[in-house]
Structure formats: C-alpha cells, structure tokens
Structure 1
Amino acid sequence: MNLESHYVDLHGLRKFYVSAGSGPAVILLHGFPDTHEIWRLQLPALVANGYRVIAPDMRGYGRTDAPASAGAYAIEFLCADILGLMDHLGLATASLVGHDWGGLVGWQLCMNAPQRFDRFAALSTGHPAAIAAAGVAQQMRFWYVLGFLMPVVAEHAIRANDWFFLRQMTRRPDQLASWRAALEPEGRLTAALNYYRANLKLGRPHNWRPVQVPVMGVWSDRDPALGEKQMLDSLHHCRKGFRYERLAGAGHWMQLSATDRLNALLLDFLRPS
C-alpha cells in the first residue's frame, strides 16, 4: 500500500492527512487522544478492497495546526474542516467512519450535510441526542470529563507521574508511545482537552436533528466510557436505516482490539447495496 502524506490550508488552518488507494472515498475520523495512526490496521484492508481512503489528523492533533483558543474546537469548526478537505479533494460525496470524537463529528456532519455522505459508520459514540438521554449510568461513565474541563489542573493531572492517566488507558506500548508523541509538544494536550471544553452543549438535551444517511453503529462491550444504551437508542434518530453491531471482548479502541472483526464489518457495510 502506497500511503501518501499531504498538507492543505483550510481557512487558515494547516491540516495534515494521509491517503491511499482509488475508488469510492472513505474518510476516517479519529478521536481522543489519537491521530490518523489509529487507523493503521484499517487502511490496508480498505485499500485492498477498492476504496480511496483519507485519514486526517483532526484539528489540534498530530501534524495539523492547534489553534490556541478553546472556542476554535467547537464542533462547527471541526465539521467545517472535514467539508473543506472534501472540497479541496473534489469529493462531492464520501462515506464516513468516525470513532470517539470522530464519531461525534460524523454524526454532526450527517445531520448538517447529508447530501455529502453515502454512509456513516459510528464507532463507540452514538447520536448526540441518544448520549444526552442515556441516563445516570452513562453520566457516571463520563466522570473524567469534569476533570478535563478545568484548565491547567487537567493538563497537570494527565501529565503527572509520567503520564499515569494515559498508562491506565492502554496496555499496548505502541499505543502509549503514539499518544505521548502526539500530546507532549507545547499546546497539544490543551488542544485535545479543548474538544471537551468547547462542546459542553453536546451533553445537554437539545433539538438534535435526525440523520438522513444510512448508519452502522458499532459498540464494544469492554468500553469503559460509553455504554450500550446510547448506541442502541441511536436507532430512533436515523431515518435511512440503522444497523447495530456489538463487538464482544473488545475495548474502546476496537480498531486495535478487534481489528479483523471491525474490518469485516466496515467492508460489508460500505459495500454498495
């Protein structure tokens, strides 16, 4: 697989992305605290099956610029980055695969610009309305978010004891090394936390629109942060079909812990009907 690296200037933001393959376009959106590298085991499978795959570093991550203002990470700007990238690439439409924050961006994109997206695979994160209505059990899973909202304090706590917080999130040395490399440079950890600080409205009751795009929701039963209910209930917010898949024995980062099963699901879902 010939993986190409690119930079593009989007309304003053220098954005990095990798691409490979030819055929129908699939855009892969990562979450916290990853970069495009989280998709390294999905890229070859998609390319080998005839897809053109684009995996950006989201705003503030990896080799994409990190604006200093917390407000620059509001979901409206995150979505504008992806639509701008599509316009730059000349893509009238594409399929989306989003994980964690990338999933939330994907839901918002499909709400606001359904004509641009053929299909959407939401990994871990359900529709924002389903998350907001998932009840006390889901809110308890989000205990860490309250800490993330405190500037300076959160940054210090995450870096403390040789990044103990990150070390508790994975047992994979390669994953930990990737996170540290992405978050250690000046301003990068704050940029990642600004996703939470700039988007508090996503956790509140809101008149979220339904999605007019076919959706597959994939949830892993060892995800400590996101419960099954918020994904199952996303069915009620999808008008063009919702397919639910449950990955037993997989953790939050299903790209790594259930690679073959996830890849098979993606290939089956993305295949034109």
Structure 2
Amino acid sequence: MLHGWPDTWRLWDGQVAALQGRFRCARFSLPGFEPGTPRAARTLDELVDTIAQVADAVSPGRPLTLLLHDWGCVFGYQYAMRHPQRVARIVGVDIGDPASLQKSLTAGDKLKVMAYQVWLAAAWAIGGRVGDGMTRWMARALRCPSDPAPMGAQMNYPYFMLWFGGRRSYARHSQAFRPACPLLFIYGKRKPFMFHSPAWAERVAAQPGCAVQGLDTGHWVMLNQPARFNQVLGDWLSLQTAVSS
C-alpha cells in the first residue's frame, strides 16, 4: 500500500481493517514523508528501489498486489514497469498514466496544476516553519481530509523534483505506464479536473481483467467514501483471487 501527498502509511487504516481478514497487508511511509525526517530530494531510482526492498521483504516468493494513491501511483507504476514479474495486479486510485494526462489537460487546467505544484516545490525549498505552514495551507485549500499534524515541507520533494530536478527530474526517468497485469482504476469524479485522461481510462477498461470505477468523491476517495471504496476494492480483489486460483 503506497500513499501520496500529504499522507503517510496511516492513509490506509480503513483498508487494512477491511482487508486484513482475507489478505496480508503491508504499508510504509514513503522516504522523507514522516515528521522530523531530514529534508532531502529522492530520485525516482531511489524510490523504486525502496519499494523493491519492501516488496522482497514481505513477499519474497510470490508476486504481490499494489494498492496506490497519488504519488504512490507514480512510483508504484514505475516499480511495476521495471519489475513486472513481481506484480500480480494493481489498484490505482485517482492517478492515471502521467504521460497520457499531460496530453488531455486544457491550458487552464495545466495552469492550475502548475500553481499548486510549484507552491509546494517552493515550500520544500524554503523548509522550516514557513515551509510547513505553506504545506498545510495548500492541503486545506485542496480540501485534504487527512490529519494535518504529520504534514510538513519535507514531504514536498516530489514536486520539487518534478519541476526543478533537472537531469534527475522524474519525467526524464519514467516509462509510459502500460500495465501487464490486471488493473482496477478508481477515481473521484468531484474534482476541478481529472488526474487521468479519458482515453487512457477507456483503454484500461477494455483490457481483460481490468476495470474502471468512478465514485462521487474528491481526490481522497478512500477517505471521502470509505465504505463504498472498500466494497469496490474488496469485490475486485476477491474476483481476481478466484480467477487466479
């Protein structure tokens, strides 16, 4: 289970409670996202390697299921592309293929995305109490329902790397996401703009074993409608388990 901004492993409390009777659940905070951790920019290679180390530790002999949200999708998709033999299925929440998304956004939407992302990149660069305050302010502005207490500038480095990473920018080292395994894509329909392209979602829905489900929520689908999210998630996982048995 991989979270995104501005969350930690605690994002998945409700899903662990719903699934732990049928599945073994493993979650961790992305490097640098816990309060008090040093402010440092991580490369895409470093983050994918961290995921690989955790995956090999918790499931060394069998491929696993990835449950991903936000930046967790970006990093988890790249892990799946680099290690396809280690991934049996993927559940992506609210973030589709970044390359396809860029082609589908309007000029106005691109400006909105740039505005909040550059703000958070600046908060990371500033750091300290000012950077922490900027981070929490943006989380409120984006209506993030997560606990603000753990939020801080140290978790904004993905935005800094995205816009100002230079040769280490994530875009320079990413592969287009073309899943080689079953994929469930769940997204929130109540947002100013989508984080996936309609064409990409249509292609996913047309593939055998894959499904796309939109819920009447914002970006944090699992927190906005936990019961419905858990139902969709659990039903699809059970179906996939039965098919592979």
Identify whether the pair has TM-score above 0.5, normalized to the shorter chain.
yes
Q: How does 1:105-254 map to 2 (within 5 A)?
A: 105-136=75-106, 137-142=108-113, 143-150=115-122, 151-152=125-126, 156=130, 159=133, 163-170=136-143, 175=146, 178-180=147-149, 182-183=150-151, 189-200=152-163, 201-202=169-170, 208=176, 210-224=178-192, 226-227=193-194, 229-230=196-197, 232-236=199-203, 242-248=210-216, 250-254=217-221
Number of the residue aligned with 2:166? none
Q: CA offsets, 1:19-52, max 9 Å, x none?
A: xxxxxxxxx111100111111111111113x100
**Greater share of helix:** 2
1:266 aligned to which of 205, 210, 233 = 233
1:122 match: secondary structure: strand
Instruction: State the 1:191 CA deviation.
Output: 2.5
- Identify if the C-alpha distance between structure 1 residues 68 and 153 changes in structure 2 by more than 3 Å, giving closer, same or farther: closer
**Greater share of strand:** 1
Aligned length: 229
2:18 aligned to which of 28, 45, 48 = 45
Aligned residues of 2:32 and 2:39 also touching (Cα < 8 A): no
Instruction: State the 1:196 CA deviation.
Output: 1.2
Number of the residue aligned with 1:83? 52
> RCO (CA 8 Å, sep 6+): is it higher in 1 or 2?
2
| Paired letter, 2:226 | T
Aligned residues of 1:93 and 1:115 also touching (Cα < 8 A): yes
Q: TM-score, normalised by structure 2?
A: 0.80
- Identify if the C-alpha distance between structure 1 residues 240 and 212 changes in structure 2 by more than 3 Å, giving closer, same or farther: farther
Aligned residues of 1:232 and 1:244 also touching (Cα < 8 A): no
Number of the residue aligned with 2:34? 62
Instruction: State the 1:209 CA deviation.
Output: 5.1
Aligned residues of 2:43 and 2:170 also touching (Cα < 8 A): no
Instruction: State the 1:193 CA deviation.
Output: 1.1
| Paired letter, 1:264 | Q
TM superposition outliers: structure 1 runs of 4+ over 6 Å = 237-240
Aligned residues of 2:81 and 2:177 also touching (Cα < 8 A): yes
1:55 match: secondary structure: coil
1:222 match: secondary structure: coil
| Paired letter, 1:60 | G
| Paired letter, 2:189 | D
Provide structure 2 residue ranges, at least 5 long, that are not aligned to the other structure: 164-168
1:42 match: secondary structure: helix
Q: C-alpha root-mean-square deviation of aligned residues, in Å?
A: 3.0
Number of the residue aligned with 1:35? 8
Percent of paired sites with the same residue: 22
1:148 match: secondary structure: helix
